[in-house]
Structure 1
Amino acid sequence: LEHYLDNLMKKIDKAATDYLNKVRHMSPEKRTNQLNQIESMFSKSREFGDDKVSLAMQTYEMVDKHIRKLDAELARFEADLKDKSSGRRKELPEGKNSAKKKCEKDKKKRKSIKEEFEDEIPKKKKKKGPIEEEEVEVSALSPFPLSTHPSDVLDMPVDPNEPTYCLCNQVSYGEMIGCDNLDCPIEWFHFACVQLKTKPKGKWYCPRCQEERKKK
């Protein structure tokens, strides 16, 4: 339709230009015929224009109709999603509560195990083979936090039956290390008392055992 309208407008322009150029030399009858032809072409162009506008309006209405339909479908889809999500949320609290209860139960269990472990006194592990002694890497945990200072421990009430360790002859606290000399009379030492901040790699001997080894 657009193509036909463009061609018709070009014909009208050409006919009007020819008429203006030759009007002085035309007879009255020819002028009338020429004007009628131009008017007829204008009428056709107006019809094409009206058809074009009508087609555009129909297209707009059709697109608008489909858009409204899509909006309605989208609203229905969103409503379904909300209903499903609200239904799931109603089921979630019970699951969350059960998970929370399980988590609290696990925490209590871990705490109980930790308390039982902290009640134990660090003991040095020894393992001898038929030919030679095997190196056994030993590390110990203490019932006191790592940040516990020796002076804080000294101020705490001490069980007279609790064994003592280290060069300071005090109870177990903080982080401790075991001497790799199986015959060491003390066995366990506080990190601070033997100038340690981290556990050394390989074998470690206490100051007394080091002196004994040097004498040999």
Structure 2
Amino acid sequence: MAKAMYLEHYLDSLESLPAEMQRNFNLMRDLDQKSQDLMKKIDKAATDYLNKVRHMSPEKRTNQLNQIESMFSKSREFGDGKVSLAMQTYEMVDKHIRKLDAELARFEADIKDKSSGRQKETAEGKAAAKKKGEKDKKRRKNNKEEFDDEIPKKKKKKGAQAEEEIEIGTISPFPLSTHPSDVLDMPVDPNEPTYCLCNQVSYGEMIGCDNLDCPIEWFHFACVQLKTKPKGKWYCPRCQEERKKK
């Protein structure tokens, strides 16, 4: 809707441009024709002067030279007029180009503001989800401790297998950690941006590609076989291949 509004305003401003340009081009064509006709007269007058100069009196020579010079001055005026019209036409078109640039800048700024607002809402939603997750994690931890306290002592000492099951948490009804696949199974906001080779939302630790033209930019540690952030610059698999080709 906003795009259509900007386009409509710009097209309205262009409505008179074709007629103004056509008028200037017609004037330039007329001046060019007048200049060409005048140059023919100058050529004829110059030829006539050279043929008759020996038989002319000094006064007549001066008058004819003054006439030729006057015609040259008039031709120069026609040329200056064409240059002036050309500059006027250029400035007229350039004004609309600058107006288009300004409208595009305003349109991009509006989009950026709206995008920033959505990102802010998403960030607030993430913060709320993180806070809720911490509360759930704390509640699960408390429930696990209560569950362990309720197991009879003689059942805990029944055998090595039971002790091993209790240690690794296989008999606990509450998960002790969250796997990335569990994160991907959770409902995702359709407006949430996606990253990485897996084309999924951000979670856990992520690393940014040092190629400024990288189309993906951010990657999950697990998807690029990283456990810790490497020292120095790091490039994703796709950008590494492109750098090798170059």
- TM-score scaled by structure 1? 0.36
Give the drift of 1:133: 46
Any unmatched runs of 5+ in structure 1?
A: none
Q: What is the CA-CA distance between 1:89 and the residue it aligns to?
A: 0.9
Q: 1:35-60, CA deviations, whole angstroms, 9 ceiling, x for partnerless residues?
A: 23212211211211221232233223
2:198 match: secondary structure: coil
Q: How far, CA to CA, are the matches of 2:175 and 2:80 in structure 1?
A: 93
Q: How many residues align?
A: 216
**In terms of mean alpha carbon deviation, does 203-212 or 48-57 score higher?**
203-212
Greater CA drift, 70-79 or 196-205? 196-205
Contact 2:144 2:172 in 1 (8 A): no
- Over 3 Å counting, the alpha-carbon distance change for 1:207 and 1:92 in structure 2 is closer
Q: Retained in 1: the 8 A contact 2:122–2:192?
A: no
1:135 is paired with a residue of what secondary structure?
helix
- Name the larger-Rg structure: 1
CA RMSD, 1 decimal: 24.1
| Cα-to-partner distance string for 1:161-212 (whole Å, 9 max, x where unaligned) | 9999999999999999999999999999999999999999999999999999
The answer for unaligned runs of 5 or more in structure 2 is: 1-6, 13-25, 29-39
Whether the 8 Å CA contact 1:146–1:174 is kept in 2: the answer is no
- Give the distance between the partners of 2:243 and 2:95, measured in 1 at CA: 99
For 2:206 and 2:118, locate their aligned partners in 1 and report how far apart those are by CA, in whole Å. Answer: 53
In the aligned structure 1, how far is the partner of 2:72 from the partner of 2:216? Answer: 120
Identity level (%): 91
Offset at residue 24 of structure 1 (A):
1.2
Separation (CA, whole Å) in 2 of partners of 1:187 and 1:2: 36
Distance 2:208 2:111 in 1: 64
Tell me if the contact between 2:166 and 2:172 (Cα under 8 Å) persists in the aligned partners.
no
TM-score, length basis structure 2? 0.33
Structure with the bigger percentage of helix: 2
Deviations 1:36-85 (A, max 9, x none): 32122112112112212322332233233323322222221111011011
Indicate yes or no: 2:142 matched with 1:121: no
Q: Is the 8 A contact 1:165 1:187 kept in 2?
A: yes
Q: For residue 87 of structure 2, give the secondary structure of its aligned residue in structure 1.
A: helix
